[in-house]
């Protein structure tokens, strides 16, 4: 099996890769690379005002993207034996963003 077939098989086995994150009534789902699949807002999310909402959507999308890219990285690594390829594709991510803890949010809003 060549590299391309190994990759195709690995991604087929992994199923669709979706990164998902939520904060303050905003739930964002993205594909690898960050293309938006859905943005769901609760009526509460709209109460903080437009500027705050826009900021939350962008930050949540960034966390969802980091998760999707991290998952893609795992699938690539499995198929290709640990080689880092995402940086070359412009799909690098901040591991801190991909973490599930919402460490930077609770103290900002109390």
- Closer residue to another protein, CB minimum distance, 13 or 36: 36
Per CB under 8 A, the segment of 8-16, 43-51, 76-84, 99-107 that binds another protein is 43-51
Structure tokens at 95: 């591991």
Check binding of 96 to another protein (CB under 8 A).
no
- Closer residue to another protein, CB minimum distance, 12 or 50: 50
Beta-ladder partners of 70 = none
Quote the CA–CA distance of 65 and 55 in Å, as a whole number: 15
Over the window 45 to 74, marking each residue x when it contacts another protein by CB under 8 A and - when it does not, the resulting string is xx--xxx-xx--xx--xx--x---------
Q: For residues 25 and 45, is the Cβ–Cβ distance under 8 A?
A: yes
Torsion sign, CA atoms 94, 100, 101, 103: positive
# of chain residues touching another protein (CB under 8 A): 29
Q: For residues 22 and 60, is the Cβ–Cβ distance under 8 A?
A: yes
CB of 63 to another protein, least distance (A): 11
Q: Which of 16, 90, 95, 110 is in the footprint of another protein by CB under 8 A?
A: 90
């Amino acid at each position: 099996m060549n590299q391309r077939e190994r990759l195709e098989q690995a991604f087929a086995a992994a199923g669709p890769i979706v990164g998902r994150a939520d904060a303050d009534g905003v739930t964002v789902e993205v594909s690898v690379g960050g293309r938006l699949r859905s943005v769901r807002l609760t009526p509460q999310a709209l109460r903080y005002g437009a500027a705050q909402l826009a900021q939350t959507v962008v930050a949540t999308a960034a966390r969802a993207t980091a998760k999707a890219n991290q998952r893609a990285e795992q699938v690539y690594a499995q198929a290709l034996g640990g080689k880092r390829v995402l940086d070359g594709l412009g799909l690098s991510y901040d591991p801190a963003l991909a973490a599930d803890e919402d460490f930077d949010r609770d103290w900002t809003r109390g």
